[in-house]
Structure formats: structure tokens, C-alpha cells
Amino acid sequence: MKTIYKLATRLSLMVLIGVAVVAPIHAAENPAPADPSLLPVFEQFGGKPGLDALMEDFMIKLIEDPRTRNYFAEVDQKHVKAMLAEQFCVILGGPCTYTGKDMKETHAKLSINEGGFNALVEDLQLAMDMHKIPFRAQNKLLGKLAPMHREVVTLP
């Protein structure tokens, strides 16, 4: 009886550890899934055309900012802007499909640290202010982007 009890405890522990290990990995694959409840926020961004326009100024800010300039100066900016607009559209429950690359793979070799991540978020906030996106709507998007930190930042 004791052995059966021990075996059962061990088995449930294994299941628990299995869930704990597998769950975050699975969550990391899609850290910011579409959230249909954010559709009103999507509208506050001006829909897809609003997001496309936002990305123009976001990229300008990223290039102006000495903390992020070197990352973006040599890349296909047009492509990155288009992928960001698609991705944000999906995140905000909009009628888009993200056709870009996986976040982890995209940023793996870019040596991005905390400072770089914070700089990008600040530049996005500046661009959203320029586009008069309401503060609460800004925070809704930023809240969805925050979990991507673990996909993007590879240095302390």
C-alpha cells in the first residue's frame, strides 16, 4: 500500500513538473496572441492604416535614438515596419495575419540588452504620443508586448 502511495505521489510530481516545464515553453512560442477583446483599442490606433502610419514615426524615432540606431540602420526598414504593423494588428485583435518571422529567431543574434529593450519601448511611446493614441490604449499594447521581453533580450 505504502509503495502504491509513493508511486502515485511520484507520478503526480512528474506530471506537475512536466506541466511547469512544458507550459512556459509553449507560452513562449506565442507570447502575445490575438485578443479579440482589444478590438476597441485597435480602433483607437486608427485600425491598420493607423498602425502603418505609426510605424513610419516609430522607425524614425528608432533611427534618431543613439541607443537603437545601430540595430536598425542596416536592416530592411520597410519590411520591419510592415511586419510590426501586422504583428500589432494581430495582437490588438485586428483582421490581419502576421507573415513575419518568429520573435526568438529574429532577435537571437542581435545581442539586445535591457537598455535596448527599454529604449525601443520609449521610442514607441514617443511615436504613439505623436499620433495622439490615448494613454490607456498605449498601455494596453505595451502590456501585450511586455512578455516578449524574454524572446528578444539575450543579454543582461
| C-alpha radius of gyration, the chain, whole number | 20
**Burial of 49: CB neighbours in 10 Å, binned 0-12, 13-18, 19+:** exposed
Give every CB contact of residue 22 below 8 A, 6+ residues apart in sequence.
none
Stretch near ligand HEM under the rule CB under 6 A, chosen from 10-18, 41-49, 53-61, 66-74: 66-74
Burial string for 114-127 (b: 16+ CB within 10 Å, else e) reads eebbebbeebbbbb
- At 112, give phi and psi (nearest 5°): -95, 130
Stretch near ligand HEM under the rule CB under 6 A, chosen from 19-27, 38-46, 78-86, 127-135: 78-86
Sole binder of ligand HEM in the list 59, 84, 85, 141 (CB under 6 A):
84
Sole binder of ligand HEM in the list 71, 96, 133, 137 (CB under 6 A):
71
Show contacts of 66-72: CB within 8 Å, 24+ apart.
Answer: 67/115, 67/116, 67/119, 68/116, 68/119, 68/120, 68/123, 71/110, 71/112, 71/116
101 near ligand HEM, rule: CB under 6 A: yes
Stretch near ligand HEM under the rule CB under 6 A, chosen from 16-24, 48-56, 76-84, 129-137: 76-84
- Range 120-139, binding ligand HEM (CB under 6 A): 120
Chain center to CA of 104: 10
Sole binder of ligand HEM in the list 95, 100, 134, 143 (CB under 6 A):
100
110 near ligand HEM, rule: CB under 6 A: yes
Binding site for ligand HEM (CB under 6 A): 68, 71-72, 75-76, 79-80, 83-84, 87, 100-101, 106-107, 110, 112, 116-117, 120, 145, 148, 152
